[in-house]
C-alpha cells in the first residue's frame, strides 16, 4: 500500500531522539514522525514480541503514543490515510495472524499514570497501566479490592473492554467510570451500565446491544472504587494467595493467552476439554496444556495458525461429544485459514 505522507515528514531513525524512539523492530529504517508529538509510525513492525503467545506477523504500521494528544494524532493520521485501526494493549488475550494486521496498530501500553485518592478510595489509572502491578501497589497501601486481579497479565484498557475477571470477581464489580476516545476525537465518560457488561464482554468490543458492529471507542483511562484503610500486610498476604493459586493451577512455563474459551455455564471449558481427552493434544508447536485444559501453550516454534487450528479442533471435539459450542475468549486479529 502507498500511504500519502500528508502533513508528516519521512525521517531516518537517526533523526528521532532516543527519548522519542522505541527499539525499531522492523528492517525498514524509514519512519513516519507525527509533528508535535513523540509518535513514530513504524512500517512492517513485527508483533510477535508484543503478544503473550509470542506469535504473529507484522503490523502494516505501528505506533505507541504516550499521551492523549499523541493518541488523537495517531487516529487522525489513520483517518486521513484511510487506514483501519487496531488497538493493542498488553497483547495477553490476542492471537495475531501469521499474515499480520493491515492498517495502523496503536499500542496503548505507554499510556501511563495513576492516582490513589485516600479520601474517596478512588483509583484513577491510564489504559496502559498493568493490572498485576496495580494489584500489588494497592495491596502495599492497604487498599482492598484488586487482590483477585494479580494473576491477570493485561492492561487496564483491555481489562475494561473485556470485563476481565477471576475468583468470582470482575472489573464491572468495581468500575466507577471509563474514559473513551470517540472516532471524532471527542472524549466521553461512560458508566458500567452504559458499557453493557456481561460475562467477559462489553459494548466496547465494537458491538451494540443488537450485536451489530459500531464505531470503535478507545479506552484511555478508568476509575475504580477500592477500600483503603486495611492492614497492608494482610492485603499483601491475600494478594499472594491469589497469585499462588494461579501459579499452581495454570501453566506459566510456556507462552499462552490465558483462558482460551469462555465457560459455558454450568460447565467449565477446561473440564469439557479435559473430559474430551484433549489434554496434551498438539498441532505444530501449539499444545493443550497438561496443567489446565483451557490453556493452549506455545511449546516452542508455534505459528499462529497452529494455535488457530487447535482452537478449531477443540471446538469440533467438544461439539461432537457434548453438543456445546465453545466460544473463544481470545480475540483473533488478522486473516486465518478457514480449513486446517
Catalytic center residues: 200, 259, 329
Among candidates 305, 307, 330, which has minimal Cα distance to 93?
A: 330
Q: How far is CA 105 from CA 46, 75, 86, 164, 281, in A?
A: 11, 10, 5, 22, 33
Residue 177 CA to residue 195 CA, distance in Å, equals: 9
- Round to whole Å and give the CA distance between 243 and 227: 20
DSSP string, 287-304: EE-SS-TT-EEE-SS--H
Closest Cα to residue 84, out of 336, 337, 335? Answer: 335
294: nearest Cα among 339, 247, 330? 330
Please tell me the number of Cα atoms within 13 Å of 303 on its side-chain side: 12
Find out whether 122 and 110 touch, Cβ atoms under 8 Å: no
Print burial letters for 231-257: b (CB count within 10 Å at least 16), e (below 16).
eeeebbebbeebbeebeeebbeebbbb
Amino acid at each position: 500500500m502507498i500511504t500519502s505522507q500528508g502533513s508528516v515528514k519521512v525521517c531516518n531513525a537517526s533523526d528521532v531522539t532516543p527519548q522519542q524512539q522505541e527499539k525499531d523492530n522492523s528492517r525498514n529504517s524509514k519512519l513516519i514522525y507525527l509533528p508535535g508529538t513523540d509518535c513514530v509510525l513504524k512500517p512492517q513492525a513485527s508483533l510477535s514480541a508484543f503478544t503473550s503467545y509470542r506469535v504473529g506477523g507484522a503490523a502494516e504500521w505501528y505506533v505507541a503514543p504516550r499521551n492523549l494528544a499523541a493518541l488523537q494524532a495517531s487516529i487522525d493520521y489513520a483517518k486521513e490515510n484511510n487506514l483501519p485501526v487496531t488497538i493493542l494493549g498488553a497483547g495477553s488475550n490476542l492471537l495475531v495472524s501469521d499474515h499480520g494486521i493491515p492498517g495502523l496498530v496503536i499500542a496503548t501500553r505507554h499510556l501511563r499514570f495513576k492516582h490513589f485518592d485516600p479520601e474517596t478510595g478512588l483509583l484513577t489509572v491510564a489504559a496502559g497501566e498493568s493490572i498485576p502491578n496495580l494489584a500489588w501497589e494497592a495491596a502495599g497501601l492497604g487498599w482492598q479490592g484488586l487482590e483477585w486481579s494479580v494473576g491477570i497479565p493485561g492492561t487496564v484498557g483491555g481489562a475494561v473492554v473485556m470485563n476481565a475477571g477471576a475468583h468470582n470477581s470482575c472489573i464491572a464489580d468495581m468500575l466507577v467510570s471509563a474514559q473513551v476516545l470517540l472516532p471524532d476525537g471527542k472524549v466521553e465518560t461512560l458508566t458500567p451500565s452504559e458499557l453493557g457488561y456481561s460475562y467477559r464482554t462489553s459494548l466496547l468490543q465494537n458491538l451494540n446491544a443488537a450485536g451489530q458492529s459500531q464505531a470503535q471507542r478507545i479506552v484511555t483511562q478508568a476509575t475504580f472504587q477500592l477500600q483503603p484503610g486495611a492492614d497492608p500486610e494482610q492485603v499483601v498476604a491475600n494478594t499472594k494467595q491469589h497469585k499462588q493459586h494461579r501459579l499452581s493451577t495454570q501453566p506459566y512455563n510456556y507462552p499462552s493467552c490465558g483462558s482460551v474459551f469462555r465457560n459455558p455455564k454450568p460447565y467449565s471449558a477446561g473440564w469439557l476439554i479435559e473430559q474430551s481427552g484433549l489434554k496434551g493434544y498438539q498441532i505444530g508447536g501449539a499444545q493443550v496444556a497438561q496443567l489446565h485444559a483451557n490453556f493452549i501453550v506455545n511449546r516452542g516454534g508455534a505459528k499462529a495458525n497452529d494455535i488457530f487450528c487447535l482452537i478449531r479442533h477443540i471446538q469440533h471435539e467438544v461439539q461432537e461429544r457434548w453438543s456445546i459450542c465453545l466460544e473463544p475468549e481470545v480475540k483473533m486479529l488478522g486473516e486465518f485459514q478457514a480449513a486446517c
